[in-house]
Amino acid sequence: MSTTEEAPLVRLEGVGKRYGNIIALRDIDLEVGASEITCVLGDNGAGKSTLIKIVAGLHRHDEGVFRVEGEKVSFGSPREALERGIATVYQDLAVVPLMPVWRNFFLGSEKRTGAGPFKRLDIPFMRSTAKRELLDMGIDLRDVDQPIGTLSGGERQCVAIARAVYFGAKVLILDEPTAALGVKQAGVVLRYIAQARERGLGVIFISHNPHHAYPVGDRFLLLKRGRTLGYHTKEDISLAELTAEMAGGAELEELAHELESAGVQGAPELREDARDLGVSD
Amino acid sequence: MTIAPPAADERVAARSSFRKLLGRPEIGALIGAIVLFVFFSLVADAFLRASSFSTVLYSSASMGIMAVSVSLLMIGGEFDLSAGVMVTSSALIASMFSYELTLNVWVGVVVSLVVTLALGFLNGLLYVRTGLPSFIVTLGTFFMLAGLNLGFTKLITHNVATPSIEDMDGFSQARAVFARDFTIGGVQVNISVLWWIVFVAIATWLLLRTRSGNWIFAVGGSAASARAVGVPVTRTKIALFMGVSFTAWFYGMHILFNFKSVQSGEGVGNEFFYIICAVVGGCLLTGGYGSAIGAAIGAFIWGMTSNGIVYAEWNPDWFKFFLGAMLLAATVVNLVVRRRAEAGK
Ligand SMILES: Nc1ncnc2c1ncn2[C@@H]1O[C@H](COP(=O)(O)OP(=O)(O)O)[C@@H](O)[C@H]1O
Ligand SMILES: [Mg+2]
């Protein structure tokens, strides 16, 4: 950590969000600094997407404080977030499959040359830049002219990540980038996520798989039904504990306790289970 | 400024320029066109005459001008079923406006341009505002325009066709721009053929060399992904509908100044021919893939087949069967192309 009290890139304090009368998030704290990976874990419906949509500028929060580099913000659109250096890679919205890799890489931020009606794409620049940037991230493509749909799911995610890095993102939000991938491909994507951190980016990595999150993460926020179940740094939690907490180990123990006090048989076995999961000792 | 070519990758070696050519959307249509050309040359003696060639070119242009913008729209992921009758609307507006108010025909031409572009804008706006498939939205505007064409024409001229505007001010200049004939190397060519080629060239440049072209492929390939990276999706789609209305105006002006009078019931059904030209030329019905040159080859196939059947002295009733079979064949070829592009490795 730097000695000067530098504000983290993104910091949420007591953030809450309601959809009408549904409380999707309540009192959430989260932070991510440069060269850090913060993982957000939780089951379906836990509020992970809602949380990152606030940071990405798709929704405004109703409660709490959202700071970017120390400054209070509330984004009205993804563009505003992008201008502050917060880029998001959505799992299913990352690319246009039929378009060549280099066109996908520059889509929406095309480099042009010439003037007036003859303003045109600077194709040689975009081709060679896409090729080089991907190579820098360790993605060695045969041909940047091939449709991006011919790449594997993992490679596609990587191109989307490389693109966000190239266009100057400071914070990268990844919504379940490994969810639909096989073990090997997920490994490839995790390597690029770690690489983005090495390049000084802050990463918010959404996952429901602790085995993907633990090896790369620095901080872990566990969500359940819109509330914080736990917020840990890597030093104070092991993979087994993280897995157990996600699997509801703490609840299991609570249940055992309740049953025990009610004198129900079998409660000790339940307590054993909880211990095996690494929650209590 | 010089840019060093990216270092050659040994794995690319296999992807020769021949393989690259095979990956182009228009390649199937090109092969089909060559086969049909050879076929009709063999079975119809009249097919290779210069005069036949000029007829084939003229028919091709009559589909091709609209097929240019229709193919762009399809690459952008949308259909316009009102495209056929919109040509007629455009010609009717220019004709009746000039005639009834006894104005220079150019006034009618300009009024028609403004109104027709507004029709395209309306199609686009209806599509983006309702969120309905463009197929449904333009099916609605197709019937509305077809009805308006007949209704207004009968109301104003008390006839199903407009009176000739041949002796009105400005007619000869307008005809020179939109419908003149001239000869190149002994072959009589209508200027609409040249305009067709110009439009194909502009559309090709737009698609492959400009940012707008990038956006057209993107909104057709995956509108949600395009939006997520900041592509103005609705603006692009509306512009594509307006592109169709622009060529509808242009071709409407050709019809008006070529035939002097406009039949109000014309144009119905042509929208499908435009779509066939685009699909035969390699455009995917699902969007995101295709080319303007392909659509031009598709129109040329249309021109060769529709006339070749006549030169071969067959019953032209068979033509539509041919057309339908070709559409099916092309769609299957395109499907294979798409599967290879999306899932292949
Ligand atoms: N746009 C919305 N309107 C109403 N409720 C929503 C909306 N989006 C999410 N929710 C609700 O908020 C809760 C959290 O959802 P979400 O953030 O998508 O969870 P996750 O991404 O962890 O699966 C769920 O109960 C979900 O039904
Ligand atoms: Mg989610």
First-to-last C-alpha distance (Å) of chain A = 33
Are residues A258 and A200 part of one domain?
A: no
Closest CA to A158 of A148, A145, A167, A168: A148
Are residues A116 and A60 part of one domain?
A: yes
Are residues A82 and A156 part of one domain?
A: yes
CATH T-level fold of B28-342 = ABC transporter involved in vitamin B12 uptake, BtuC (1.10.3470)
Q: Do you know the residue count of chain B? A: 345
Ligand 1 closest atom vs CA A20: 4
Report ipTM for this prediction: 0.85
Report the run of H or E that residue B194 belongs to, with start and end.
helix B191-209
A275 assigned to some structural domain: yes
Parse chain B into domains and list their residue ranges.
28-342
A2 assigned to some structural domain: no
A5 assigned to some structural domain: no
d(C-alpha A89, C-alpha A254), whole Å? 38
In chain B, which residues touch A (CB < 8 A)? 3-4, 6, 9, 11-12, 15, 205, 209-211, 213-214, 217-218, 221-222, 224-226, 228-231, 288-289, 338, 341-345
Under a CB-based contact definition with an 8 Å cutoff, are residues B253 and B112 in contact?
yes
DSSP secondary structure letter of residue A180 = T
d(C-alpha B182, C-alpha B5), whole Å? 46
> Count of domains in chain A?
2
Domain that holds residue A19: 10-246
For residue range B184-200, list pLDDT tens digits in order: 888 899 999 999 999 99
Output A116-121 pairs: Cβ under 8 A, ≥24 positions apart.
A119/B210, A119/B211, A120/B205, A120/B209, A120/B210, A121/B209, A121/B210, A121/B211, A121/B213, A121/B214
DSSP string covering B62-98? HHHHHHHHHHHHHHTT---TTHHHHHHHHHHHHHHHH
Are residues A262 and A148 part of one domain?
A: no
Are residues A138 and A99 part of one domain?
A: yes
A53 touches ligand 1 (CB under 6 Å): no
Ligand 1 closest atom vs CA A175: 21
For residue range B279-325, list pLDDT tens digits in order: 999 998 889 999 999 999 999 999 999 999 889 888 888 888 888 88
For residue range A220-278, list pLDDT tens digits in order: 999 998 999 889 999 988 888 888 888 775 566 666 677 777 766 665 665 666 555 55
Dihedral of CA atoms A154, A159, A160, A162 in degrees, nearest 10, equals 120
Are residues A267 and A156 part of one domain?
A: no
Are residues A187 and A51 part of one domain?
A: yes
Judged by CB atoms within 8 Å, which residues 39-78 of A form the interface with B?
78
For residue range A66-110, list pLDDT tens digits in order: 999 999 999 887 778 888 999 988 876 668 988 999 999 999 889
pTM of the model: 0.82
Are residues A142 and A130 part of one domain?
A: yes
Q: Do A96 and B226 touch (CB under 8 A)?
A: yes
- Residue B232, classified by CB atoms within 10 Å of its CB into exposed (0-12), middle (13-18) or buried (19+), is middle
* CATH number (domain holding residue A140): 3.40.50.300
Q: What residues contact residue A260 under an 8 Å CB cut-off, 6+ apart?
A: A267, A268, A271
d(C-alpha B262, C-alpha A24), whole Å? 62
**What's the farthest any 2 CA atoms get from each other in chain B?**
73
A270 assigned to some structural domain: yes
| Residue that has been written with the tokens 């840990």 in this structure | A232
